[in-house]
Amino acid sequence: MATSEELLRLAVERLRQAGSESPRLDAELLLAHAIGTDRTVVIAHPEAIVSDGAAARYEEGLVRRSAGEPVAYIRGFKEFHGLAFAADSRALIPRPETERLVELAEAEVLHRLTAAPRPRGTPPIRVADVGTGSGAIAVSLAVALRRRGAIAEVEILGTDDSPDALDLARENAVGHAVADRVRFVEADVLPPVVATRFDLVLANLPYIPTGTIPTLPVAAAFEPRIALDGGPDGLAVIGRLVARLPEALADGGVALLEIGSDQAQAIEELVRRELPGWPSTIEHDFAGHPRVARIERPRGSS
Q: Are 98 and 131 in contact (CB under 8 A)?
A: no
Domain that holds residue 41: 4-67
The pLDDT assigned to 205 comes to 98
Looking at the domain assignment, is residue 171 inside a domain? Answer: yes
d(CA 31, CA 25): 10
The pLDDT assigned to 302 comes to 63
- If one counts every other C-beta atom within 10 angstroms of the C-beta of residue 252, the result is 13
Q: On the CB side of 69, how many CA atoms lie within 13 Å of its CA? A: 16
CATH assignment at residue 127: 3.40.50.150
Candidates 265, 253, 252; CA nearest to 293 is 265
d(CA 198, CA 157): 10
| Same-domain check for residues 218 and 157 | yes
> Nearest 5°: CA angle at 25, between 24 and 29?
120
| Same-domain check for residues 135 and 272 | yes
Strand partners, 203: 130, 257
Query: Structurally, how many domains does the chain consist of?
Result: 2
The pLDDT assigned to 281 comes to 98
Looking at the domain assignment, is residue 301 inside a domain? Answer: no
| Same-domain check for residues 59 and 110 | no
| Same-domain check for residues 145 and 248 | yes
The pLDDT assigned to 216 comes to 94
The pLDDT assigned to 232 comes to 97
d(CA 102, CA 142): 10
Q: What is the pLDDT tens value at each position of the chain, 302 positions in all?
A: 899 999 999 999 999 999 999 999 999 999 999 999 999 999 999 999 999 999 999 999 999 999 999 999 999 999 999 999 999 999 999 999 999 999 999 999 999 999 889 998 899 999 999 999 999 999 999 999 999 999 999 999 999 999 999 999 999 999 999 999 999 999 999 999 888 899 999 999 999 999 999 999 999 999 999 999 999 999 999 999 999 999 999 999 999 999 999 999 999 999 999 999 999 999 999 899 999 999 999 988 76
Tell me the whole-structure pTM to 2 decimals. 0.95
| Same-domain check for residues 246 and 122 | yes
Looking at the domain assignment, is residue 112 inside a domain? Answer: yes
CATH assignment at residue 59: 1.10.8.10
Alpha-helical regions (H) of 251-300: 264-274
| Same-domain check for residues 38 and 176 | no
| Same-domain check for residues 57 and 174 | no
| Same-domain check for residues 139 and 264 | yes
Q: Which of 36, 67, 98 marks a domain boundary?
A: 67
| Same-domain check for residues 17 and 148 | no
| Same-domain check for residues 176 and 63 | no
Looking at the domain assignment, is residue 81 inside a domain? Answer: no
| Same-domain check for residues 99 and 41 | no
Looking at the domain assignment, is residue 273 inside a domain? Answer: yes
Question: Environment class of residue 120 by beta-carbon count within 10 Å: exposed (0-12), middle (13-18) or buried (19+)?
Answer: exposed
d(CA 258, CA 285): 10
Looking at the domain assignment, is residue 78 inside a domain? Answer: no
Looking at the domain assignment, is residue 73 inside a domain? Answer: no
Give the orientation angle of helix 163-175 with respect to helix 136-147, to 10 degrees.
20
Looking at the domain assignment, is residue 14 inside a domain? Answer: yes
| Same-domain check for residues 115 and 248 | yes
d(CA 76, CA 84): 10
d(CA 134, CA 93): 8
The pLDDT assigned to 300 comes to 80
Phi, psi angle pair for 196, to nearest 5°? -125, 130
The pLDDT assigned to 1 comes to 84
